[in-house]
Amino acid sequence: MMGLPDNLSPLVLLAITAIPTLERRVAVPATLPGTWTSQGCVTDNGSTRTLPGSTFAGNTMTIESCLAFCDSGSFVFAGTEFGVGPHCGNALTSGTANATSTDCSTPCAGNANEPCGNGNRLNLFWNGQTPPTPPAIVPSVGDWVSLGCYSDNVNGQGRAIANPTAVAGGSANVSIESCTTACFNAGFGIAGTEFADMVCAGKSSEFCGGPNRLNVYNYTGSGLTTAGSGSGGGGGTALGVFPVLSGLPTGWAYNACWVDNANGRIFTFQLPGSSTPNTIESCVAGCIANGFTVAGTEFSDCGNELVAGPALALESSCSMGCAGNSTEACGGPNRLSVYSSVRPIVTLPVPSAQTTNLPGKWTYAGCLREPATVKMFPNQIIWIGNNSALACMNQCAAFGYDASGVEFGQECYCGDITDVTKNNGVFGAESECATPCPGDPIHLCGDGNRLTTYFWNGTMNDWKTPANTGHYELCTSVVVPLIATVGINNKVTFLEKGGTGFPNSTGAYELDLSLASNFFTAWREMHIKTDVFCSGGVVMPDKVGRIINVGGWSLESTFGLRLYTPNGVPGTNSTNDWEENFEELSLQRGRWYPTAAVLSNGSVLVIGGETGSNASPQPNLEILPKPVGGDTVVPLDWLARTDPNNLYPFVIVLPSTHLFIGYYNEARILDPVTFNTIVQLPNIPGSVNNFLAGRTYPLQGAAVPLPQHAPYTDPMQILICGGSTNGAGIAVDNCVTIAPEAPNPTWTLERMPSKRVMPNLVPLPDGTALILNGAFQGVAGFGLANDPNLNAILYDPTQPVGSRFSILGSTIVARMYHSEAVLLPDGRVLVSGSDPQTDNPDGTVKYPEEFRIEVYVPPYLTQGFTQPTFTLTNKDWAYNQVVTITNVHLFQGTTATLRVSLVGATSSTHGNTMGARTIFPAVSCSGTTCTITAPPNAGVSPPGWHQLFILDGPTPSHSQWVRIGGDPSQLGNWPNLPGFTVPGL
């Protein structure tokens, strides 16, 4: 029996030395060019940019190139966002707030070792200089007095100031002074500046209007001459300004002058700004480069058709000279000079909200106003160039959201109908939603802060809220577990990483729950030699059910092979200990975060991981036992490609004996001998707004095979729940299932009642699965998650898709990083661990190392029914063997409805339930005697140990351990080395 130090109680929590997280984080270079310094990660509003100055998109972005770009424009602030685009400015907009550094972890497109922000997040830099005075509306210039900011071209009715007038030095020299001077010289008493991107091109301290907005000035002096009649503009007078009729790319030709903005913009795409002044040739070339067949000059627009009810205009109204060639006509005020490679040009009517031919049960709800402080619906998807109301509805429905809204043309939002009430939603007039959808220009996609909104008319998610939810029961322990395994002696072994728990901890303990009433006898101290931090484990199929633990944190620990033989019976302390000798027995490759699995031939597969703590990948597998003088390592290029998001890959033996492998957001089927890929499965669905959401560590979800039922004709299905995204760590709120060996396998997606990263998934004896632990936000790793998910959920695969989740009880214990859950022989679930090392901003512990353990009592044990009993003598089964159980005693039902389940022995760590398997074999009864037909082969049931339960209606018995399939790889004779005890065959 283990003893505690005299000066410590079992409830004392001690500080530990932090262990570096797995995340090999991208990092800002320690030395930056010039006087630039990093200011950390800040929020970026999206609609109102934190840095409203110059920007461009580029696929070779680095922090250094961003700073150089902003230096060239004499900006004092610089920022990187979305991995590809720099932002520059001389002031930060109001509402900018600090964000966590993990929010800004998208690798730069040009240097994957540097962070370039994330969605609505900026890595911010400052060159130390005092920002210049922000721009302002000039109150007066000489005798010219500001009249304020005026709308222009309201509803397409024409310009507020009719005469475009050129300034000295061209458009690059526009300022309030140059504009008023030009208008004075032309004899006009009203002057206005527009199309200058707010800040004057010729004087950045002044505002010069914006699209359809004029800064207007009135001349109050007496020196004005009679107004002139020239039509000026960027190309001078109309005289000598012509369409381009030759020299265009093959197939392209001038079409006509068209009215723009009578009912909205008639092109769906506008080319980004360029340092090269626009010409017809550059506009056409830009549209061709973007895949369009129609081009128009006014703002340099592109499309494949003209939208919003276009109309032809007088040719004479397209008389403004191009900025790059004053002899070429580049449209005019609300006029477009149009060129195309197709004839005739398709013209589309004025767009309207789509109210008919809607998919599924969607109905049109109206034009919904965005709230002032938050987004109405939480999940944003930006589909530049192809967003439509239909596409948005289909995406929302696929991921279980019953509210869909489209906004700003290119933005799709998914949420719940209840969000509208929660956010005090108000529907506006239909006319407030006026922007056509870029992917469906005859229909509307909202407008600025306006959502064209659709609701699902029906129940999207039938989440059950039963009165009987089960409950948690709380206990104390002496260990902060990393790995939990139930042995065939019905005791639970725990392993902890080095530096966790008490200073004198030996790293290994065994819990006898039958002695739970006596804390000091319930816990037995055991010993390990190397650090098991982030290792893997499984119960082997030898006759004593040894537990094998593989890999570890660093150096020799990564090569660790540790074996434990469970012995003794409940009520009496066992005597065996862990056996380990690195010099005699080790893995062929060092591994941190590997998965272990028993194959159909009874050997042990060890796959994946990294070479050490935050080190290089180990993208391969190996087989144990290793032949003398041999090497069983097989390289896997797909693991190398998806590092580091593929650690602890999911490994499940399929009925064909082939292997299902799930890693990051991919899955495939492998041959169990050559380990070549047989089938590349479809990618695993991610989140509604991020298809790159991952399912394996560090974007940690959980996976188990769903139950197989005799006669085993239906293909096996695999369940994967939860996960997260890189960067902001938005937890996944869905489960997905697939039958990998079915014809044309596809993923079925079901939305969970809540988001969850780092969940545990426990197969229960009645065929359901318990989902618990984890967090609403973050990824796996020290200090990388927040907001614990305290609620347990039950998944029932016998119910229809969309009706499989039941919301169960809640705990008071945050189970974050390094939490475990295992099925106990009495049908309860033991819940343990949590070592997140997450602190508050003031340095105090936010989520402590968790010594407390719990048992979750599922609903089948809290409805007042007595658990059935039985007697079993034969506990070593061959395939297809008929086995008898006797003394079957049921307390509710009859043997006519009795079921038997076989639940595979598992080892739980990091959300990975290694060895999970559930089988419902054929059973028949006569009186109190029943016969069970063992599974037919090693595909349905790989060699190994199982807990056998009988079920009286919903209520399981206590289990008894049985072995199915023997020990075909003769693990019982391995390893025949000093320091190890082998059980034999």
| pLDDT tens per residue, range 40-54 | 888 886 556 777 665
In angstroms, the first-to-last Cα distance of the chain is 31
Residues 639 and 659: their CA atoms lie apart, in Å, by 15
Residues 807 and 814: their CA atoms lie apart, in Å, by 18
Whole-model pTM: value is 0.74
Q: What is the pLDDT of residue 399?
A: 98
Residues 97 and 748: their CA atoms lie apart, in Å, by 39
**Which residue do the tokens 């023997």 mark?**
966
Q: What is the pLDDT of residue 48?
A: 63
DSSP-derived 3-state class of residue 149: strand
Q: What is the pLDDT of residue 821?
A: 98
Residues 808 and 769: their CA atoms lie apart, in Å, by 12
Q: What is the pLDDT of residue 154?
A: 56
Contacts of 200 (CB under 8 A, 6+ apart): 135, 174, 175, 176, 193, 206, 207, 208
Specify the CATH superfamily of domain 869-964.
Immunoglobulins (2.60.40.10)
Q: What is the pLDDT of residue 231?
A: 32
CATH topology of domain 471-861: Methylamine Dehydrogenase; Chain H (2.130.10)
Q: What is the pLDDT of residue 918?
A: 98
Q: What is the pLDDT of residue 175?
A: 87
Number of H helices, E strands in the chain: 7, 73
Residues 841 and 846: their CA atoms lie apart, in Å, by 9
Residue type, 898: L
685: burial class by Cβ within 10 Å (0-12, 13-18, 19+)?
buried
Q: What is the pLDDT of residue 407?
A: 97
Residues 495 and 506: their CA atoms lie apart, in Å, by 9
Residues 244 and 237: their CA atoms lie apart, in Å, by 17
Q: Which residues of the chain have pLDDT under 50?
A: 1-24, 196, 226-239
Q: What is the pLDDT of residue 147?
A: 67
Residues 774 and 780: their CA atoms lie apart, in Å, by 9
Q: What is the pLDDT of residue 132?
A: 75
Q: What is the pLDDT of residue 555?
A: 93
